[in-house]
Amino acid sequence: MKKIALMFGALLMFGMTQGFFAQELEAVEQPEAVEEEVVKPVADARIKAALDRQQIDYEIDEDGDFRVIFTTDDDGDRTQLVFVNSNVEKYGEKLEIREIWSLGYRNDGSVPPALVKKAAKMSRDYVVGAWEVIGDNRLALVAKVPANLDDDTLLGTIGSIGRKADAFEKDTLGTDDL
């Protein structure tokens, strides 16, 4: 009988310790909810200052990038949306590269291979910018430039990208929607 009582006591102790350890384990496995901090992207102050000095109208999107509506003809009938990215790629300690880009083509399917080839051939003739496939259904003219461009070069790059992307849109889609 003593053996049964000892075994019962041992089982009881084992069960109690297992319950204790299980509770402790649950506490470790289920940490308290931590409130996540949402960090809003910051618009690059250098671009903001340059656009303000040049009196260029712009909006800042949810990514902190600048959206500039650029007039592409003398009559003001055609416009093109050009993005100036706030985020930059850093190479070493001194070189920062940013993208200035504009869509020239978009459809519901995929970009036809013949159009990709045409855009690639056009890119060879550009001093600034090259066509890139974005996702499956868009072509964008993208200039990768130093992040610290002077005001005139920044404005010239925005204009060049806007005019070329608009001409491509007009030629391939016949629209002024991008």
pLDDT digits (tens, 9 = 90+) for 96-144: 999 999 999 999 999 999 999 999 999 999 999 999 999 999 999 999 9
pLDDT category of residue 166 using cuts at 50, 70 and 90: very high
Largest CA distance in the chain: 106
**Rounded CA separation 126/42 (Å):** 31
156 within 8 A of 119, measured Cβ to Cβ = no
Is the pLDDT score of 13 beyond 50?
Answer: no
Provide the whole-model pTM.
Answer: 0.76
Whole-number pLDDT of residue 22: 47
The residues near 81 (Cβ < 8 Å, ≥ 6 apart) are: 67, 68, 69, 70, 102, 103, 178
> Region 1-23: what's the mean pLDDT?
46
> Region 31-49: what's the mean pLDDT?
77
Domain spanning 45-172: CATH 3.40.190.10: no
pLDDT category of residue 73 using cuts at 50, 70 and 90: confident
pLDDT category of residue 178 using cuts at 50, 70 and 90: confident
Q: What percent of the chain has pLDDT over 90?
A: 71
What are the structural domain ranges in the chain? 45-172
Q: What is the dihedral of CA 110, 80, 47, 152, to 10 degrees?
A: 120
